[in-house]
Structure 1
Amino acid sequence: MNRRFKRAGWALFFFILVTHATQGQSINDSKFGKGLQFVAADSSFALKFSTRFQLLYQGIQNPATDNWDDRLLIRRARLKFEGFAYSPKLTYKIEVGLSNSDIGSDIPDKTNNADNVILDAVARWNFAPGLELWAGQTKLPGNRERVVSSQKMQFVDRSLLNSQLNLDRDVGLQLHHQHQVGGMVLRETGAISMGEGRDITVNNAGGYAYTARVELLPFGEFKGGGDYVGGDLEREPTPKLALAASYDFNDNASRARGQLGDFLTEQRDLSTVFVDAMFKYRGFSSMAEYANRSAQDGPVVLRDESGAVEETFVTGNAFNIQAGYLLPSNWEVAGRYTTFNPENETGISAQEQYTLGVSKYIVGHSLKVQSDVTLQDQPGRDNTYQFRLQMELAL
């Protein structure tokens, strides 16, 4: 069975699942952007089904040929199921990806798994006030930009910092704690996970990953969970600030970027540190992040006869800062600067990116059109220019 038929099968399966689950149930509080919501007659479970996709145009000036290389693609196409089971204290989330970009194909044949259909499959148990235990596959508590949903980003896509150094999704356990001290909100999260990313179907090739994150909101919570939403669509009436730091230790990592990238012929202990901040006030928003990853015993795994790097872990540091202002008309103008500085030993080129974005929010992040222009500067190479235009539709 080829991959196209597999995807069609997944889509049909989930359609039948939703149709069956809704029989005899009641619909409540359903509106555009909020999905279809159902509650069992005996209140023993609840289900919300939603779907979304992104249509992307991308054009890049190729400095080698001076050609304009462009394409249209479905950047993301997803189905999401969430709700509670047995008790409102036991919630769940299942999210699957259907597009090529969602599924990916960077897993080698030895994993016996060519597709990564499942994005999230996690249960969350609120077993005590302010405490939740998560079990399953979901995003690790790493950098803020990665945890922000791809539906709720301020730009067309995430930054270079995220693409090179993020932790992404993994399978394991997470413990989340939140409490207040006066007007401040404190959050602490710890995770133990496989360390090799999502949908791995063979024995763990290395050790586990251990992740910890601490957050401080000195002026209280953001409206609508805005500390993990791009742009200030809530137009915070008072200043709101979130400060956070994360640390991840991936024991005997097998993949070039920890939970992502090619599987390498040797393993390394990887340590990754993140520091980030989010600020919002009356339509103005800004976010800054710093990331640093290092490998014990050095990142390079394999060199050829001439000494050129053939296999390496991606190590180094990156910094990203962005800010935007949402006009009363729901047009937003935003700017972003990102620098990525890999360790010299890796042979990976350093980069700087300057991005200017313009967005129109029609129904918040559920129906919007976003565009951005990026200048990419790499030492010793001509500058590259990229233009992107994307529509997001989420039901």
Structure 2
Amino acid sequence: MLHCRNGNPKGSSTQIRVLVLLVFLFGGLVVNAQHHTEASFGKGIKFTPADSSFSIKFSTRFQTLYRGDYTIDSKDYSDRLLIRRARLKFDGFVADPSLTYKIELGISNRDHGGGNIAETGFTPRIILDAVVKWQATEHWSIWFGQTKLPGNRERVISSQKMQFVDRSLLNATLNLDRDIGVQFWHTNNVGKDGVLRKGLSVSMGEGRDIIASNAGGYDFTFRMDYLPFGDFKGKGDYFGADLAREPKPKLAVGFTYDRNVDAVRQRGQLGRYVRLSDGTQLTNTLSTVFIDAMLKYQGWSFMGEYGNKNGASNEFAVLDDGGTIKYVTGSSINLQSGYLFKNNYEVALRYTSTKPDNAEFSGLINQQMYTLGFSKYIVGHSLKLQSDISYWEIATASNRWVFEFQVEVSL
């Protein structure tokens, strides 16, 4: 799960120049501020000029991770230290408060990977989000650009605001990730307290930072969230742990349906391109369903998710050396719960299981993971210590124990 990919020197130097330029530009804005500048830990630095024609907020964060793997059969122990994530974020409004934007850059090796269709060389991919959002009316908004698709709840929750060190096996195998396109959102009240949110996305279907023409079809995603008891405090239906300590029970139930027509990558927006050794590109229409729920009350939280991905065909690429590249299809379930004590220590449990729909034609592995997590929230999700220990059962390999410890700092 923790693989690093090294870029070439030319790509790295280009990244550094871009990042230095962004920092200097933002620094100049703050120095020359004539109207209003805000700064506080965990909320970034916000600047608004005297004429209020725009605003910009800059924030940064990183995660330092230690991970150790003990393989039971061979009694081998391997470990590593790495910067799991490092991000730069810019957001605000332009011209009018109803027109907002977000830019998020990933600057750790884990955020990089080839964005070129041919995959013949390394293309730095530092752009995670670059999206503009227009709040057209009280109930309607339109998003245009690159950002997360409205997929499973666990994926939409920011990696800064997770209950465990990292996301589950369900998310690792089935999530929709990011894509480039347009999203339409509508929110309305239902009854006395209920809230209903609906989202529709039309995107390219090949993931983030693709710079070539469309190699397959398009991706269509529909998402619906129902909150029968009203909104959570501080959007708590999309962050881990009950840091808001909801005084009354709060529940959110979500449903996602995604159809990636003529997908060219193993998991739709993610994975290798499924092509033969002679370059012939295969396609497969992938359909994905997610059902999830979040429940919080007085420090206690529960989140459950079910996911299923299937393909219209069982075709996969057979290479000259006898290897195969398969589309990842199958189902998964993830259940997790935790309790946050008044001293802001939390204990949490998680169970995840993944199963292929067909052992011969699916790239999914039958596996189960049991996880016990401990967290200390020093300043909410902006400064925290997290650790967990997992027992990982893998059908095609030796079972193992996994230990992780991570420090999160978000300015």
TM-score, shorter chain, exceeding 0.5: yes
Residues 199 and 180 of structure 1: is their aligned pair in 2 closer, same or farther, counting only changes over 3 Å? same
Identical counterparts, % of pairs: 50
Residues 15 and 164 of structure 1: is their aligned pair in 2 closer, same or farther, counting only changes over 3 Å? same
Counterpart among 9, 14, 17 of residue 25 in structure 2: 17
Q: Distance in 2 between matches of 1:380 and 1:111?
A: 30
SS of the residue corresponding to residue 25 of structure 2 reads: helix
Shift of 1:346: 2.0
Structure 2 matches for 1:341-380, cutoff 5 A?
341-343=355-357, 344=359, 345-346=361-362, 348-379=364-395
User: Which one is further off, 12-21 or 82-91?
Assistant: 12-21
Would you say the 8 A contact 2:116–2:212 is kept in 1? no
**2:193 aligned partner, one-letter code:** G
| 1:329 aligned residue | 343
| 2:180 aligned residue | 171
| 1:338 aligned residue | 352
Q: Distance in 1 between matches of 2:216 and 2:365?
A: 28
Q: Structure 1 residue 390 and structure 2 residue 398: aligned?
A: no
1:128-164 deviation per Cα after TM superposition (whole angstroms, max 9, x unaligned)? 1111100000000000000000000000000000010
Q: Distance in 2 between matches of 1:126 and 1:230?
A: 27
Q: Distance in 2 between matches of 1:388 and 1:107?
A: 33
Q: Distance in 2 between matches of 1:4 and 1:327?
A: 44
Would you say the 8 A contact 2:38–2:47 is kept in 1? no
Q: TM-score, normalised by structure 2?
A: 0.92
Counterpart among 220, 231, 240 of residue 230 in structure 2: 220
Q: Distance in 1 between matches of 2:99 and 2:354?
A: 40
Q: Distance in 1 between matches of 2:231 and 2:239?
A: 13
Aligned residues: 393
| 1:34 aligned residue | 43
**1:272 aligned partner, one-letter code:** T
Would you say the 8 A contact 2:373–2:386 is kept in 1? yes
**2:325 aligned partner, one-letter code:** E
Residues 305 and 134 of structure 1: is their aligned pair in 2 closer, same or farther, counting only changes over 3 Å? closer
Q: Distance in 1 between matches of 2:222 and 2:88?
A: 29
Task: Name stretches of at least 5 consecutive residues in structure 2 with no aligned partner.
Answer: 1-8, 276-281
Q: Distance in 2 between matches of 1:190 and 1:161?
A: 23
Q: Distance in 2 between matches of 1:377 and 1:338?
A: 10
Which runs of structure 1 show a deviation greater than 4 angstroms over 4 or more consecutive aligned residues? Answer: 105-113
Structure 2 matches for 1:46-61, cutoff 5 A?
46-61=55-70
1:148-189 deviation per Cα after TM superposition (whole angstroms, max 9, x unaligned)? 000000000000000100000000000011111221000000
**1:302 aligned partner, one-letter code:** A
User: Which one is further off, 345-354 or 35-44?
Assistant: 345-354
Counterpart among 181, 189, 193 of residue 203 in structure 2: 193
Residues 392 and 27 of structure 1: is their aligned pair in 2 closer, same or farther, counting only changes over 3 Å? farther
**1:101 aligned partner, one-letter code:** R
Residues 313 and 238 of structure 1: is their aligned pair in 2 closer, same or farther, counting only changes over 3 Å? same
Would you say the 8 A contact 1:112–1:201 is kept in 2? no
Q: Distance in 2 between matches of 1:21 and 1:104?
A: 32
**1:177 aligned partner, one-letter code:** H
Shift of 1:205: 0.1
Cα RMSD between the aligned structures?
1.7
Would you say the 8 A contact 1:106–1:261 is kept in 2? no
Would you say the 8 A contact 2:36–2:49 is kept in 1? no
Q: TM-score, normalised by structure 1?
A: 0.96
Structure 2 matches for 1:48-87, cutoff 5 A?
48-63=57-72, 65-87=74-96
| 2:109 aligned residue | 100
**2:366 aligned partner, one-letter code:** A
| 1:303 aligned residue | 318
Shift of 1:28: 3.7
Residues 348 and 106 of structure 1: is their aligned pair in 2 closer, same or farther, counting only changes over 3 Å? farther
SS of the residue corresponding to residue 207 of structure 1 reads: coil
Q: Distance in 1 between matches of 2:351 and 2:56?
A: 40
Residues 387 and 107 of structure 1: is their aligned pair in 2 closer, same or farther, counting only changes over 3 Å? farther
Residues 94 and 304 of structure 1: is their aligned pair in 2 closer, same or farther, counting only changes over 3 Å? closer
| 1:287 aligned residue | 303
Normalized per residue, the structure richer in strand is 1
Would you say the 8 A contact 2:150–2:222 is kept in 1? yes
Residues 351 and 23 of structure 1: is their aligned pair in 2 closer, same or farther, counting only changes over 3 Å? same
Residues 63 and 85 of structure 1: is their aligned pair in 2 closer, same or farther, counting only changes over 3 Å? same
Would you say the 8 A contact 1:175–1:191 is kept in 2? yes
